[in-house]
Amino acid sequence: MTNDLLYQIALTLVPNIGSVQAKVLIEHFGSAENIFKAKRKELGNIENIGEIRAAAIKKFTDFPVAEEEILFIEKYKIVPLFLTDKNYPRRLLHCYDAPTILFYRGTADLNATKIISIIGTRSNTDYGKLVTEKLIADLKEHNVIVVSGLAFGIDAIAHKAALQHELQTIAVLAHGLDTIYPSQHKALAKEIVQQGGLLTELMKNTKPDKHNFPKRNRIVAGLADAAIVIETAVKGGSMITAELANNYNRDVFAFPGKTTDNKSTGCNHLIKNNKAVLLTDASQLSEMMNWQPKKPKPKIQKELFLNLNDDEKVIVNILKQKEAVHIDELYLKSGLSSSSIAASILNLELQNAVVSLPGKMYKLN
């Protein structure tokens, strides 16, 4: 690993420098190393940075923590993705609070053409399970990547259905890659690594504390083209993710449910308030996302010869046989007089049906 990675990880450890400020600094200085080597005054003069943050950068000494993280990355073949890396998820780059660095274990392309997020309650109903499984089964032909959060309920159902139907799936974590939460999903996580990936912005030894889940949710929202809410109450992580997806200008869809079902109140609320499109099936989703294969345009014969007289039809039939025909060959094959051929060719040229070439050659237009 290069010094670049050391400074990149270190940047995330500086007090009061969050992802928004880090993005501003990177845009100004071009690299994490340049940020640490900049003068305090230059740092302080940058908008939204100021003296306190500038001082925090210049006083930073916890580089050994970053070095330890690099050893962990190398040992477990984790791929670090910094804001300026070519493989960094481009959809996230368009989010104002894009993670400064991501840690990734997996094979799925984070910049694939079709990526969706599926979110929902941890305590799903049979209806939620059925809807999730059918949606993913019907999306198999579109080869989408399914993103979710590895939680109980809809998340786990979505991951498992994707694996079953040989679709890649990405689990976004609210902790470091040295652990799996919930622990009951360790076997599922191993499968996901082989057929998708595990993604987080958090370093090892970071526990799945409550405040890390909204951070996780913004990646779930920003990584995909669309967020699909299956079941949720009016309050909960799924509603936060849907709101984030709306803020990131992502398409948000929700499956409706019974008005008496608490697990569907959130979905119904999103639809009612025009924060989500009512979704019924995969075909509707593929149509709205413009995933339908483009039908080849039928070849239409040019209707150029609707007003041809008998002599003109003879000329056209001869020209159809070759790319280009000499005037002498037209005389020979048509049996028409020179005046008839001259008149016919003139009319055909006026109708834009025949083109005159050098050397007294003619061809169909």
Q: What pLDDT does residue 189 have?
A: 97
Pairing of strands 169-172, 79-82: unpaired
Specify which residues 106 forms β-bridges with: 197
Cα 202 from Cα 204, distance rounded (Å): 7
End-to-end alpha-carbon separation of the chain, Å? 62
Cα 315 from Cα 319, distance rounded (Å): 6
Token reading at 292 = 């339908």
Under the banding of pLDDT at 50, 70 and 90, the label for residue 183 is: very high
pTM here is 0.78
Query: How many percent of the chain have pLDDT more than 70?
Result: 96
Q: What is the mean pLDDT of residues 70-74?
A: 96
Cα 125 from Cα 76, distance rounded (Å): 37
pLDDT digits (tens, 9 = 90+) for 19-45: 999 999 999 999 999 999 999 999 999
Cα 59 from Cα 325, distance rounded (Å): 84
pLDDT digits (tens, 9 = 90+) for 189-202: 999 999 999 999 99
pLDDT digits (tens, 9 = 90+) for 227-241: 999 999 999 889 999
Length, in residues, of the chain: 365
Residue 249 CB neighbours (<10 A): 8
Query: How many percent of the chain have pLDDT more than 90?
Result: 76
Cα 256 from Cα 268, distance rounded (Å): 6
Is-contact 234 269, C-beta < 8 A?
Answer: yes
pLDDT digits (tens, 9 = 90+) for 101-132: 999 999 999 999 999 999 999 999 999 999 99
User: Is pLDDT of 1 > 50?
Assistant: no
Q: What pLDDT does residue 294 have?
A: 61
Specify which residues 170 forms β-bridges with: 147, 197
Q: What pLDDT does residue 303 have?
A: 46
Cα 361 from Cα 326, distance rounded (Å): 4
Q: What pLDDT does residue 328 have?
A: 83
Is-contact 345 312, C-beta < 8 A?
Answer: no
Cα 37 from Cα 31, distance rounded (Å): 10
Cα 331 from Cα 340, distance rounded (Å): 10
Q: What are phi and psi of 349, to 5 degrees?
A: -65, -40
Cα 264 from Cα 232, distance rounded (Å): 6
User: Is pLDDT of 333 > 50?
Assistant: yes
Q: What pLDDT does residue 299 have?
A: 45
Q: What pLDDT does residue 3 have?
A: 77
Cα 105 from Cα 192, distance rounded (Å): 9
Token reading at 217 = 């949710």
Q: What pLDDT does residue 300 have?
A: 40
pLDDT digits (tens, 9 = 90+) for 253-311: 999 999 999 999 999 999 999 999 999 999 999 999 999 766 655 444 454 445 788 88
Domains (ranges, CATH) in the chain?
A: 3-103 (1.10.150.20), 107-288 (3.40.50.450), 310-364 (1.10.10.10)
Sign of CA dihedral 134, 284, 251, 124: negative
Under the banding of pLDDT at 50, 70 and 90, the label for residue 206 is: very high
Under the banding of pLDDT at 50, 70 and 90, the label for residue 329 is: confident
Q: What pLDDT does residue 351 have?
A: 82
Cα 21 from Cα 335, distance rounded (Å): 85
